[in-house]
Amino acid sequence: MKLVAALLAAALLLAGAAGCGGSGAEPGAPVGATLVLDFTPNAVHSGIYAAKRQGYYGDAGINLTVRQPGESTDAPKLLAAGRTDFAILDIHDLGIARERGLEVVGVMPLVQRPLAAIIARKDSGVKRPGELEDHMVGVTGLPSDEAVVDSEVSADGGDPVKVKRVTIGFNAISSLAAGKVDAATGFWNAEGVALRQQSIPIRIFKVNEYGAPPYPELVLTTTRKTLDRDPDLVRSMVDATRRGYEFTVENPKQGLADLLAEVPSLEPVDQKGQLQALLPDLDPLPFDTAVLREWAAWDFAHGLLERPLDVEAAFPQP
């Protein structure tokens, strides 16, 4: 009995040691990691879901769980608290988070251009952003919308002060469809596609065509701590995600099928239209540091950032 008790005690001791400070996974088993999206899954995330369905994360040794954001989700805080390993952030939110002392870093762009735009009804008579003076423009209430309007109107020779702005929340589609506003801020890949699918005649003015640099709108992020502690995990995550987007660009029909298989609640027609619009900008190239510097200067000039951003620190090479 004493021998049995001693063996049992030794086994428990070893089990406890294995479970303390380690994953408990078998050697060579995939590492668990989580990713929080920036918004409800849609075509812009197609490369992520393609990477899951095609086994690219598994090939990289990652067992990835993708989480949709809740109403109260604050991805930068989740990252900083260690409650998620990765997150998709709007690039402006990344800059703001760093100003607030959260050491989040961008490791890969999902899209190569801004998605922000001003969308105008054709029957409003507005043919260019500079002609928005004295017209009713709907905005969500976010500071980034004000920056888009100011940038586009001034870059086209108009006076942003003369634009009549009304807060409509995230109701650009219904407000434009009903003719409640002459124009509204929105995403050309989402609201713009939806309005055209409804056969509503519109003009789309992309922000990078009027004053803003061609910055990457959405960014795969992690924390500086994770990057320093586990650079192999970050590199593997970036490589697998990039493979997913490369696959989607080369095989958009299958990339769309992978997205719909992972998120069956999505409307296929809507996502097909969005993906077709996005394809030219889903090229998974690395960050362009010169463009990032131009973006940081643009955000600072339009009051989105309170001080100049250290671009090299915010976007290190993993």
Q: 276-312: per-residue pLDDT in tens?
A: 999 999 988 899 999 999 999 999 999 999 999 999 9
**How far is Cα 38 from Cα 45, in angstroms, rounded to an integer?**
10
Give me the DSSP letters along 45-95.
GHHHHHHHHTTHHHHTTEEEEEE---TT--HHHHHHTTS-SEEEEEHHHHH
Helices (H), the chain: 2-18, 46-53, 56-59, 75-80, 91-99, 143-155, 172-177, 191-197, 224-229, 231-250, 252-262, 268-278, 289-301, 311-314
- Side-chain-side CA neighbours of residue 296 (13 Å): 19
What is the structure's pLDDT at 318? 59
pLDDT for 283? 83
Residue 30: the pLDDT is 86
Distance separating alpha carbons of residues 116 and 277, to the nearest angstrom: 13
Q: Is 93 exposed, middle or buried (0-12, 13-18, 19+ CB in 10 A)?
A: buried
Residues of the chain with pLDDT under 70: 1-28, 71-73, 318
Token digits of residue 247: 């696959």
- CA neighbor of 117 nearest in space, from 139, 92, 91: 139
Provide the whole-model pTM: 0.88
Helix (H) or strand (E) holding 112: none
pLDDT, tens digit, 9 for 90 and up, residues 227-278: 999 999 999 999 999 999 999 999 999 999 999 999 999 999 999 999 999 9
The CA distances from residue 180 to 68, 152, 164, 191, 197, in Å, are 32, 21, 13, 16, 19
Of the candidates 79, 43, 84, 46, the residue with the CA atom closest to the CA atom of residue 67: 84
CB within 8 Å of 47: residues ≥ 6 apart: 110, 241, 242, 244, 245, 246, 247, 248, 255, 282, 284
Q: Do domains 31-113+215-314 and 116-209 have the same CATH topology?
A: yes
Domain ranges in the chain? 31-113+215-314, 116-209
DSSP 3-state assignment of 165?
Answer: strand
Q: Please tell me the distance from the alpha carbon of residue 313 to that of residue 228, in angstroms, as a whole number.
A: 13
pLDDT for 3: 35
pLDDT of residue 71: 61
Domain 116-209: give its CATH code.
3.40.190.10
* The CATH number of the domain covering residues in 31-113+215-314: 3.40.190.10
